[in-house]
Amino acid sequence: MKIIVCVKQVPDTSGVVAVKADGTMDRAAMATISNPDDMNALEAALQIKETNPDVKVCVVSMGPPPTESMLRECLAMGADEAYLVSAREFGGADTWATSNTLTAAIEKIGVDKGDIVMCGRQAIDGDTAQVGPQIAEKLGLPQVTYVTAIDYKDGELTVRRELEDGYMTIKVQTPCVLTCIKELNTPRYMSVSGIMDCYAKPYTMWDFNALIDSKWIGAVENVGLKGSPTQVYKSFSPPVKGAGTMLEGADKATCEKLVSILGEKHII
């Protein structure tokens, strides 16, 4: 049995974000990390592998060649095989076009009876949460998103799906697609032996021509910017609002002054 985990290398948007003069993000100037939710997906796959030794964990990513560093880390954590899909043609993709490319790659790896595809719920650079469900649709598989617990026994898969006000317990047929959130687990670190082994494990890179025969690709018009139904119309930074009142000091008198202003204006 196989578990295919989709992972993405993302700019670390929690730190300083570099913005170019034209208003787009300067990715080259920013540190990159493995997308956090994706690491929860990988950890879940590795945990299933621990109790089911016949499981093979494959990681797949779409991104520029330096994405290899993240994939090697996934191998060092315990994944068995890595696949990088990388070509200029795939660049600038929205979620529709991204899911075309990833679906093509996943089908080339092969989804067989009993397999599971896992993704993070969303990537921190886009926050859309759309690629997982769109891969599921294109693979023709059932999906469960926002997964916070997985029970896998004898080929039976039961998961817990988070709602805003509770959760659902769902038994899902396999093969299927699950998208994972951070409540699911704590991702492991790379092990020393894992780091030693990660360059010996199977690593495959596919370019545009390697996937062109997929029914999801076929032509350059179906991937990347050209294959994206959505386009950026304008991007902008919010203006500085008319500055409010900065109060002098930070002591008891300051607080009393603020409260008296709020009182005068009937705000409190």
Partner 1 sequence: MAYNSKDTAAFKGVWVFCEQRDGVILGTGYQLLSEGRKLADDLGVELCGVLLGSDVNETYAKALGGYGADRVYICDHPLLKDYTTDAYTKVLCDLVEEKKPEVFLIGATNIGRDLGPRVAARLHTGLTADCTHLDVDVEKYKAFLKTTSTIDVDNTPFEDNKNLKMTRPAFGGHLMATIVCPDYRPQMSTVRPGVMQTQAFDEAKSQQTVLEKVDVKLDASDIHVDLIEIKKSAKKLVDLIGADVVVAVGRGISSNPTRGIEIAEELANVLGGVVGASRAIVDAGFISADHQVGQTGKTVHPKIYVALGISGAIQHLAGMQDSECIISVNKNAAAPIFDVSTYGITGDLFKVGPMLTEAIKAFKASKG
Least separation, in Å, of the C-beta of 161 and partner 1? Answer: 8
Of 210 and 225, CB closest to partner 1: 225
Q: Which residues of 166-189 are buried (b: 16+ CB within 10 A; e: fewer)?
A: ebeeeebebbbbbbbbeebbebee
Cα-based torsion angle of the residue sequence 237, 238, 244, 249 in order, rounded to the nearest 10 degrees? -40
Least separation, in Å, of the C-beta of 132 and partner 1? Answer: 8
**CA distance linking residue 260 with residue 227, whole number of Å:** 59
Of 155 and 202, CB closest to partner 1: 155
Sequence-distant (6+) residues with CB within 8 A of 17 are 11, 25, 30
Of 53 and 166, CB closest to partner 1: 166
Of 175 and 194, CB closest to partner 1: 175
Least separation, in Å, of the C-beta of 130 and partner 1? Answer: 4
**CA distance linking residue 124 with residue 250, whole number of Å:** 36
Of 54 and 236, CB closest to partner 1: 236
Residues in the chain: 268
ω before 239 within 30° of 0 (cis)?
A: no
Least separation, in Å, of the C-beta of 204 and partner 1? Answer: 26
**CA distance linking residue 32 with residue 11, whole number of Å:** 4
Sequence-distant (6+) residues with CB within 8 A of 151 are 157, 158, 159
Least separation, in Å, of the C-beta of 36 and partner 1? Answer: 8
**CA distance linking residue 198 with residue 192, whole number of Å:** 10
**Cβ atoms within 10 Å of 128's Cβ, excluding its own:** 14
Of 196 and 253, CB closest to partner 1: 253
Least separation, in Å, of the C-beta of 43 and partner 1? Answer: 16
Least separation, in Å, of the C-beta of 268 and partner 1? Answer: 7
Q: Read off the DSSP letter of residue 242.
A: P
Of 41 and 198, CB closest to partner 1: 41
